[in-house]
Structure 1
């Protein structure tokens, strides 16, 4: 006699199985794009209102089903499909460009006191340290140079886990490409309002672009100063990127 296997009713499923189902729904709807690192167990436990042990059991269920992969960097969504595309306007840092053969392109992070103007804009005490990102780029001939300095606010480091993790390695030596910084902010539920001011530097064939980003609560997130070899009149433009 053939046996029929019935899926247990939700009410009778173990808690970890129900958590695995909810997490799978979030993976499928793109809340966590394919290939992206999953939040830490502690964050998942808080998100679902369960213990970390329950989260571990739920992740094991998804791992056995090939829906989550774990390596030394953590657990990642492994559902088939393409990651969420990042519009060009989301590129970080301001001024980033593709470099051709022989071009120089370097990005690092440090934990230090930011420039005074940045500290004021971010609402930081003058002597308070924060995450500072530096980007340098030049053509193969050494010309067309551009440099960018970005300081992040306490709000950004509190709300965006991916940024906060960089504090432990912010010694200015290793490469730190935060290409998806804005995408991380959006996935943390932040609506990004950018204000870019472009001004010509007196006595120099360069312009300075100052970007200030705040969220939907008018809280500052980051300030960037970019200097590029170019000549143009002052221009200010604003745009808003909704939360993911």
Structure 2
């Protein structure tokens, strides 16, 4: 007897099982570029919450798309394989605070992550218990001659690591040696359903042509997500910041 696929069943009987309707909705997002080609899809739990169905229904919907070759799954999760145009989104904040958005000649950038106890100021801002380790990100950027130095140290809260799967995955490789570019951290947060509220405080440093910028990010429930301490050699640089970003829908 020939194997009957969900796709064949839905087409020949005229029925539309719930998982098929979810597959159709997700397919629309793949085709219009809402989920760009090669982009990892949200976790099954996130998709279930988005569509108001069970994780089993989402799993069945993904199986339909895998059967059609529109989604591929590996140890990192499922990702879109369908070609499509990328939907233009409003300009979002790049992570970390102070990162150079555009490539500049003769500029060296270095970013790493560690799992360690954050400074007391970070722990207090993020409501972390004393001596409790968390994911920390360090960014250093300077011109070849040492000018324009930028140093940013970021700590993430327990809430951020619980809500944002992409961040949580860095824990196992947070040894401080491998390069770790988290430029899309704010996009990951938004895709997890978080609305981001940034509060930046800028303070000139005494007796130095530098400024310190501290950023505290909360979500729509006033839960702290991230605290960053940035020091910038401000002789020639201008600092420009944007603020609130809504959650992705």
TM-score by length of 1: 0.82
Q: Aligned partners of 1:86, 1:116: CA distance in 2, in Å?
A: 35
Q: Aligned partners of 1:193, 1:86: CA distance in 2, in Å?
A: 16
Query: Is residue 67 of structure 2 the alignment partner of residue 76 of structure 1?
Result: no
Query: Is residue 7 of structure 2 the alignment partner of residue 23 of structure 1?
Result: no
Corresponding residue for residue 114 of structure 2: 110
Paired residues in the alignment total: 234
Q: Secondary structure at the match of 1:76?
A: strand
Corresponding residue for residue 164 of structure 1: 168
Contact 1:196 1:238 survives alignment (8 Å): no
Q: Deviations over 1:180-209 (max 9, x none)?
A: 100111111111111111110112121001
> Aligned runs of 1:86-105 on 2, under 5 Å?
87=91, 89-97=92-100, 98-105=102-109
Corresponding residue for residue 39 of structure 2: 36
Change (3 A) 1:6 1:170: closer
Residue number among 8, 27, 30 corresponding to 2:13 in the alignment: 8
Change (3 A) 1:83 1:6: closer
Query: Is residue 163 of structure 2 the alignment partner of residue 127 of structure 1?
Result: no
Corresponding residue for residue 197 of structure 2: 193
Shift of 1:231: 5.5
> Aligned runs of 1:135-150 on 2, under 5 Å?
135-150=139-154
Shift of 1:43: 5.4
Shift of 1:128: 0.6
Q: Deviations over 1:67-112 (max 9, x none)?
A: 223456432123411155461x511011111343332100001111
Shift of 1:217: 1.0
Structure 1 stretches of 5 or more lacking a match? none
Change (3 A) 1:38 1:6: closer
Contact 1:193 1:238 survives alignment (8 Å): no
Query: Is residue 227 of structure 2 the alignment partner of residue 223 of structure 1?
Result: yes
TM-score by length of 2: 0.81
Instruction: Give RMSD over aligned pairs.
Output: 2.9
Contact 1:33 1:84 survives alignment (8 Å): no
Q: Aligned partners of 1:27, 1:129: CA distance in 2, in Å?
A: 38
